[in-house]
Structure 1
């Protein structure tokens, strides 16, 4: 702890020296729906925290709903006195914020690694899964890919409008994969990529996707699962900020247009032992098949994580490369679990089901639990799509059904934590019910 304090103190002091105009730093963490919450600290107070002063925030801030309200979940929020809980600074994450008008810094905070971690904090859930795998000699290497849409900065009657092509001034309303779109939107895309790199995020490939104004950015493969998820979370924050600065809106909403493809979060995962051997490639890739079987078995019970809101379920099926059943295949983008072509050293799965607005910590935790379960049970998977285009098992496509499937699943309760599963499922149930408490104009057109 003393060594960590000295490292954090050096980081804060180095930041102050390099950015003398920064007076405040946002201390931020991801809540259950995948939004950042936190506090804005004077930078001199941050130095005291780095030196060992306590950092406390309300425990129940993690439980905020999609609109920021609190739900009664067991005794939390309304019967527990709303207690504070200790947080800690995440080393290496203190970076300048360059997309706001005033100089500012930001730094991740978390409860994992504190004396009493919050069991339902997303980063803590992932940390526990990674720690258990490490004790088993399993070391994941992870890479996220995130799709998002650019919109015009101004909404029209609350609805998103196509982003304006900077070259022509016209709406970018034609779905295509043309490389020229990267050139036409290069100013905002280059700013997003450079800002992400300034945050310490390893940005690699940028792709123009099929939807109008839709793009995908890939991250480098990372041997620290927490850091890989940190990158995905921080990228969403910085990308939205840069877009506004450049005169656009950026959104990771799963299905902003019914007629165009949704946005997904694709996660590549390979598993290695302490000597660096790819565990999935051993014994003629038999562990790979077992891992796939475990993922597919648990997938229908993880849908509230992969599709965390009403809109995310709209993304499933009916459009390009969006699965409607739990399936797998070699080099097959219609599968939930795709096995990209690679040499044995880089053999991995690509999990393609999660929506872009899902919580990256929880998505990765659910995927790793599926892989772990498969390696333990050693079952054979169903036929891949390459052999049978009808292969697959059903999964829930409505939130309340998905919550029921998740809450009673014994493997998830054991490996993700029963307290987390109960809290998460109730949070999703309450969010869904709150979403239903508004009458849409369509109901009046149909039934008035």
Structure 2
């Protein structure tokens, strides 16, 4: 059996043989707001890293705000000397980048699995949740679905413009689910799909959504939660790049238009034991009800994860299939937690609350923590929407309220890690306050 370094070295050498024109590889990881950071390495230096040379980046790169700035969070950033932290290469993620003007490669890096993981790194948070579940004999199978909008490449005074129909050169300003939209935008959508597959991402169904220029991509069900979240993160990166190449701007912004539906991140999760039995389907589906109850109990305390910014909070309520309360239901897209119709083998939940621009590692970690808590507490859930259309628990819809609710919840602190919760909540609080430090034209119109 090959050692990890031997496997990585073979991966790098095979990549160099297959892509001799690639001189540099971007080593990338996702920060707290869900943006990639990293370094561009000469490919020959990558061989040394794969063979065991240290790979270090600043620890505090994980703490960047939405606009890239650093906030003082406890002793981090300004009182800790900005130390480096070890990262490692994620096997199987070295792939060519086809949307840049020059040949390039990219590869995921992470601190999880190193001697001193960064407790607040999103991938490490998810890795710890998955490891704990594995020790309990629980094996999740996960599938993400991501919605996004296509806009014209050029903004109009900073505002998005409808994507131009390449066949008629008219604005695609008619919200619909028509299959013809897939044909009209087939060139860019096909390139997005092909590029995603080149990145090792298992994408399946493409849907034209209700909003103008809005689409949804489904991913295959994956028995490796880290890989499933990797796919979601990498898809966002490649899709933005491909869109620009075709003269569009792709955005996973949660609510780009007030009058049209927002973009969500839907996550399907089923739980199995080591023998492959669906844990949620046992005992007349009683574990499913417990898991749902746990999800709904923790959901109001994980809102900074599911709706990570001011715009994401705008998406909640008021439009199609966007929940206003923590609710559940069978085959009900108005619910936060939907139970799709399926046979016992494939019984699962679909968590529909998160916005498309949420961090996929943290979204999945929060969902799994809720499921785990429910299976442990064994409580009955509130009535499903199928029985009571008014059923549901309130959740905070203002960021500062949401941050307080998350930071003070003992189960969330235990399941996701107290250090992570404190760091994440302060990051969101500081981001929100920074966002408020600008007077918009509307204020002058109203109050001057």
**TM-score under structure 1 normalisation?**
1.00
Residues 200-245 of structure 1: per-residue CA shift (max 9 Å, x gap): 0001000000000000000000000000000000000000000000
> 1:353 is paired with a residue of what secondary structure?
coil
Distance in 1 (CA, whole Å) between partners of 2:169 and 2:413 is 52
2:88 corresponds in structure 1 to: 88
Task: Tell me the alpha carbon deviations over residues 130-170 of structure 1, each in whole angstroms, 9 at most, x when there is no partner.
Answer: 00000000000000000000000000101000000011000
What residue ranges of structure 1 are gaps of 5+ in the alignment?
none
Report the CA distance between 1:418 and its aligned residue.
Answer: 0.2
Tell me, in whole angstroms, the C-alpha distance in 2 between the residues paired with 1:104 and 1:33: 25
Q: Deviations over 1:374-420 (max 9, x none)?
A: 00000000000000000000000010000000001000111100000
Matching residue of 1:347: 347
Alignment partner of 1:117: what SS?
coil
Runs of 5+ consecutive residues of structure 2 not aligned to the other structure = none
Deviation at 1:328, TM superposition (A): 0.1
Q: Write the distance in 1 (CA, Å) between the matches of 2:370 and 2:118.
A: 23
> Aligned equivalents of 2:217 and 2:159: distance in 1?
25
Q: Distance in 2 between matches of 1:257 and 1:191?
A: 26
Paired with 2:22 and 2:412, the residues of 1 have a C-alpha distance of 43
DSSP 3-state at the match of 1:443: helix
The separation in 1 between residues aligned to 2:127 and 2:140, in whole angstroms, is: 12
Instruction: Give the alignment's Cα RMSD to 1 decimal.
Output: 0.7
In 2, Cα distance between equivalents of 1:316 and 1:165 = 29
Other structure's SS at 2:3 match: helix
Give 1:109 shift. 0.1
- CA displacement 1:85-113 (0-9 Å, x = unmatched): 00000000000000000000000000000
Residue in 2 that maps onto 1:72:
72
Post-superposition offset of 1:9: 0.1
Partners of 1:94 and 1:64 in 2: how far apart?
25
Cα distance in structure 2, aligned partners of 1:139 and 1:167: 47
Measured against aligned partners, the alpha-carbon deviations of 1:267-309 in whole angstroms (never above 9, x if no partner) come to 0000000000000000000000000000000000000000000
After TM superposition, give the deviation of residue 252 of structure 1 in Å.
0.0
Between the aligned partners of 1:203 and 1:410, the Cα distance in structure 2 is 37
Partner Cα distance (2:416, 2:235) in 1:
25
1:36-435 to structure 2, matched below 5 A, reads 36-435=36-435
Partners of 2:380 and 2:261 in 1: CA distance? 32
Deviations 1:298-335 (A, max 9, x none): 00000000000000000000000000000000000000
Secondary structure class of the residue paired with 1:73? coil
Shift of 1:436: 0.1
C-alpha separation between the residues in 1 aligned to 2:80 and 2:188? 46
Give 1:2 deviation, angstroms: 7.2
* Equivalent position SS for 1:432: helix
Distance 1:42 1:443 in 2: 49
Query: Deviations for 1:46-74, whole angstroms, at most 9, x for unmatched residues?
Result: 00000000000000000000000000000
